[in-house]
Structure 1
Amino acid sequence: MPDPETTPKLPLSVDGYFLSDGGIETTLIFHDGIDLPLFASFVLLDSEEGRRALTDYYERHIAVARAHNLGFILESPTWRSSRDWGQKLGYSAAELDRVNADAIYLMRTLRNQHEDSVSPLVISGCVGPRGDGYVPGELMTAIEARDYHAPQIAAMATAGADMITAITMNNTPEALGIALAAKDQDVPVVIAFTVETDGALATGQTLADAIRQVDEATGGYPHYFMVNCAHPDHFDHVLHDEGEWLNRIGGVRANASRMSHAELDESEVLDDGNPTELGEDYRRLMKLLPNLRVMGGCCGTDHRHVDAMGHACKHVHFVAAQ
């Protein structure tokens, strides 16, 4: 029997809402003035100045969770620290294992420092796509994806991640492969799909079908699913459904901007939208998604947007997940 004192208090396993951070890369680049090669924030772990910047970033968001008396997901800065991206940045396989573990150790340090005032604090190992987050490119099979992502997931699970979160998944074979790799490590996994302005994946598959496909192929292994890197206006229309798949969505990490992925790619300035308006969008989403428990941001969002999400939680009656 698992020890209830040491078992992670994951979202949907406990009552209450969780906040997470915003768009880490866009915040560090546009607000903090830090150069991130290939949009990779994990490189900051290799310098004292970089670690300080990461710590400051997370502490701004933890303070928001504390102010709202909500739980918090510590999502590691490892979206780019898989093999192909690491090689482009000059990291060997051994160095990637080290940096992925180091990212989790930093999250553990933050939890140790703040767990008396913010609870639960959950450590999530972030996994990003092998290719472009916006363009599917040449699709892997699920087995190829499992093999590709396995080393990163193993390094973070061994270092003490409470769960793994696959961010910006734009196709189901890769999402499925990550779920299988996490299952091999016996670590909970969350799958976050990104959608286009029509609410469908870049492959054309509907969000509902993508969630069902991963669930059917893994026996429902993902702890929950999320939608990320899209504005609520892009996908809320597909949530007016009565399908069981809606109950599997436990989190949203939306963009601040209503621009399409193609428009964001071409933009040289940050569109940070309207934090208060985005908070109201989350309030609306909470009424459409019965098990929405985790709220954070993606491109263009920062602690101001997460604060607005925290305010939204106070205006929706909490119903414990069934």
Structure 2
Amino acid sequence: MPDRLPPLPHLQGGNFLADGGLETTLVFLEGIDLPSFAAFPLVLTEAGREALARYFGPYLAEARNRDVGFILDTPTWRANPDWAEKLGFGLGDVLEANRRAVAFAARLRDEVDDPSIPIVLNGVVGPRGDGYVVGATMTEDEAARYHRPQIEALRDGGADMVSAITMTYVEEAVGIALAARASGVPVAVSFTVETDGRLPSGQDLKAAIEDTDAATGKTPAYYMINCAHPDHFREAIASGEPWLDRILGIRANASRKSHAELDASTELDIGDPTELGRQYRDLRSQLPSLRVFGGCCGTDHRHIAAICEACL
């Protein structure tokens, strides 16, 4: 990252937690209707903010009890122009929702009121498309132009960093990284993979990370893997090669199901939290830089607690 950007505390060492599957928890466990799986409208109402506060509470408590840091995500995975339009939001409205999402996260951070627990406000930038399939693609420049307004809104709201979450192909990841660099905000990139350990685009994980680094001058502060079960990517990270040092975070699914199977599911598959914790422990031996532990679809605070028991 350029020297002018502020240092991120989790790059200085130590373990950090993140939350689990926000949308799946709210929909399947809390019974909250999220059209298009979009959680960002919740920050606009008192009832929505209360639901989000209840959701994040156990995770923040776990971090405090474990005396580790926390990456506090904004609920803005769907808060880009295309998804906002489907929900009846104009560009100005969705950008304001991004700023308010950071302000909400900042209030949660302040309520912890414990200077020994570093909390990073992470502005989440999701894919323009579905997140499970590639669909229509953009060039790197198109992706940078498309995502930059959201990144700037998150920055202006006070985010410490932004993360490109559930990236399905390299060009969009590169565009987000370039837009973040131009906006003067640190950025992480998280790729998702299919059951064969490859991105939905068909590219292998090593090539995706190396190509993104090459196209951006290693702009991403680090990489993550999300929205896939450890069984899906264990072999992809088995080489012991230097590129694995760039992966600092894992946010795995609870379920071994494929993306297509999850998309068709009407019931939540929470898997086995204890087993998932053991698998995270095994991943630490393959990923020497791993220090951010969170979850994705189907996971909740029980899974994060089990990961803590196994890894911390």
TM tier, smaller: over 0.9
Give 2:10's aligned amino acid. P
SS at match of 1:30: helix
Q: Measure the CA separation in 1 of the matches of 2:267 and 2:124.
A: 26
SS at match of 1:25: helix
Q: Measure the CA separation in 2 of the matches of 1:223 and 1:9.
A: 9
Q: Is the 8 A contact 1:252 1:295 kept in 2?
A: yes
Residue of structure 2 in register with 1:98 after alignment: 96
Residue of structure 1 in register with 2:277 after alignment: 279
SS at match of 1:252: strand
Q: TM-score with structure 1 length normalisation? A: 0.94
| Cα displacement string for residues 218-264 of structure 1 (whole angstroms, at most 9, x for unaligned residues) | 11110000000000000011111132210000000000000000111
Q: Which residue, out of 62, 65, 80, partners 1:64? A: 62
Residue of structure 2 in register with 1:229 after alignment: 227
User: Is it true that 1:176 corresponds to 2:174 in the alignment?
Assistant: yes
RMSD after superposition: 1.4
Residue of structure 2 in register with 1:114 after alignment: 112
CA gap of 1:71–1:62, structure 2 versus 1, over 3 A, is same
Paired residues in the alignment total 309
Gaps of at least 5 residues in structure 1 are 1-5, 315-322
Q: TM-score with structure 2 length normalisation? A: 0.97
Q: Which residue, out of 185, 190, 200, partners 2:198? A: 200
Q: Measure the CA separation in 2 of the matches of 1:8 and 1:228.
A: 23
Q: Offset at 1:299?
A: 0.2
Residue of structure 2 in register with 1:10 after alignment: 9
Residue of structure 2 in register with 1:319 after alignment: none
Q: Offset at 1:313?
A: 2.5
Q: Offset at 1:169?
A: 0.2
Q: Which residue, out of 63, 71, 74, partners 1:73? A: 71
Residue of structure 1 in register with 2:209 after alignment: 211
Q: Which residue, out of 38, 41, 52, partners 1:40? A: 38
Q: Measure the CA separation in 2 of the matches of 1:248 and 1:282.
A: 17
Residue of structure 1 in register with 2:19 after alignment: 21
Q: Offset at 1:118?
A: 5.7
Q: Measure the CA separation in 2 of the matches of 1:69 and 1:206.
A: 36
Q: Which residue, out of 229, 235, 238, partners 2:236? A: 238
Q: Offset at 1:143?
A: 0.4
Residue of structure 2 in register with 1:320 after alignment: none
Q: Measure the CA separation in 2 of the matches of 1:89 and 1:298.
A: 23
Q: Measure the CA separation in 2 of the matches of 1:264 and 1:278.
A: 18
Q: Is the 8 A contact 2:17 2:69 kept in 1?
A: yes
Q: Measure the CA separation in 1 of the matches of 2:148 and 2:281.
A: 36
Q: Offset at 1:8?
A: 5.4
User: Is it true that 1:150 corresponds to 2:168 in the alignment?
Assistant: no
Q: Is the 8 A contact 1:65 1:118 kept in 2?
A: no
| Cα displacement string for residues 153-183 of structure 1 (whole angstroms, at most 9, x for unaligned residues) | 0000111101101110000000000000100
| Cα displacement string for residues 174-230 of structure 1 (whole angstroms, at most 9, x for unaligned residues) | 000000010011111010000000000011100000000010111111000000000
Q: Is the 8 A contact 1:199 1:207 kept in 2?
A: yes
SS at match of 2:199: coil
Q: Which residue, out of 48, 52, 55, partners 2:53? A: 55
Q: Is the 8 A contact 1:193 1:201 kept in 2?
A: yes
Q: Offset at 1:117?
A: 6.3
Q: Measure the CA separation in 2 of the matches of 1:287 and 1:249.
A: 13
User: Is it true that 1:268 corresponds to 2:234 in the alignment?
Assistant: no
Q: Measure the CA separation in 2 of the matches of 1:160 and 1:250.
A: 23
Q: Is the 8 A contact 1:208 1:245 kept in 2?
A: yes
Q: Is the 8 A contact 1:149 1:181 kept in 2?
A: yes
SS at match of 1:33: coil
Q: Measure the CA separation in 1 of the matches of 2:75 and 2:115.
A: 23
Q: Map of 1:249-264 to 2, 5 A cutoff?
A: 249-264=247-262
Residue of structure 2 in register with 1:298 after alignment: 296
Percent identity between the aligned chains? 54
Residue of structure 1 in register with 2:28 after alignment: 30
Q: Is the 8 A contact 1:8 1:122 kept in 2?
A: no
Gaps of at least 5 residues in structure 2 are none
